[in-house]
Amino acid sequence: MADLDALRSRFVRTLAGATAPGAAPGTAAPGPDPALYADDLLTRWQEPQRRYHTLAHLTAVLDHVDVLAEHADDVDVVRLAAWFHDAVYRPDRSENEERSARLAERALPEAGVSAAKTAEVARLVRLTVTHAPAEDDRDGQVLCDADLAVLASPPSAYAAYTAAVREEYHFVPNEAFREGRSAILRQLLDLPTLFHTPHGRREWEATARHNLTGELEMLSLPDTPDV
C-alpha cells in the first residue's frame, strides 16, 4: 500500500524546488495550495483501470530518479515529469502521453512553474513515447532510464510486472497480446542500449536484457491446452 502522505509531501517538495529558483522577488502572487495538485495526481494514479501504471509504478520511477539525480541537469523538473508521465492513462488508447503532457501544460503554470520549466516537463513526458533521448539530453536520459528500470527487476518482481501488464490489457485476446508484446520486446532488444545514464548501463542493462529475452522465449511457447 502506497503511503499517500509521503507521496504528497514528495510532490510538494518537488514543486517548491521547481518554482523557487525562477520566481522574481515580489512579483509572484501566492498560488493555490500545492497539495491540491498532488491530490489530483494521486487520484489519477489510483484509477481502477490501472494494474501496472499505479502508485507503485509512480513511486518506483521517483525512487529511480533519486538514484540517478546526479546525472540530471534539473532533477526537480525530471521529478515533475515523472509525476505527470502517466497521469492520464487508458490502456485502450494510444494518446496517453500526449494527454498527460497537456495536463502538465495546464496545471503547472497555475501552480507557479515558469513557462520554460513547464515546457520542459511536457517535453519529457512526450519523450516517454519512444524512450529515445538525445546524447546530450541528460534530463531525458534520467526520466527514460527511471521509467524502464523495472525491466531490470529481480525474477519475482519482473514476473509481477509482466502479470500486471497483462491484466491492464485484459481486453486484448491472448494471441494478439502475445504478438504485440513480442514485437515490443524485439524492438527493445534490438536497441544498441536500453539505458542511457552511466548508472543504468552499468547496473541495469545486462539484467534487463536477460529478463526481456526470457519473457520473449516464454511468449513463444504454445499455450497449454485446457484439461
Contacts of 112 (CB under 8 A, 6+ apart): 15, 19, 23, 28, 31
Q: What distance in Å separates the CA atoms of residue 95 and residue 97, rounded to the nearest whole number?
A: 6
The residues spanned by each domain of the chain are 4-220
Question: Which contacts (CB < 8 Å, 24+ apart) does range 63-71 have?
Answer: 64/145, 64/146, 64/147, 64/149, 65/142, 65/143, 65/146, 67/146, 67/199, 68/142, 68/145, 68/146, 68/197, 68/199, 68/200, 69/142, 71/138, 71/141, 71/142, 71/197, 71/198, 71/199
pLDDT at 25: 37
Give mean pLDDT, residues 77-91: 97
Which among 212, 223, 222, 116 is positioned nearest to 158, based on CA atoms? 212
Q: Is the pLDDT of residue 28 over 60?
A: no
169-183, pLDDT tens digit by residue? 999 999 999 999 999
Task: Quickly state the pLDDT bin for 1 (edges 50, 70, 90).
Answer: low
Give mean pLDDT, residues 71-83: 98
Q: Is the pLDDT of residue 22 over 60?
A: no
pLDDT at 29: 44
pLDDT at 27: 34
pLDDT at 26: 35
Q: With 0-12 CB in 10 A as exposed, 13-18 as middle and 19+ as buried, what is 104?
A: buried
CATH 3.40.630 assigned to domain 4-220? The reply is: no
C-alpha cell at 60: 518506483
Q: Is the pLDDT of residue 23 over 70?
A: no
DSSP at 216: H
pLDDT at 216: 97
pLDDT at 20: 76
216-225, pLDDT tens digit by residue? 999 998 775 4
Which among 96, 222, 79, 100 is positioned nearest to 168, based on CA atoms? 96
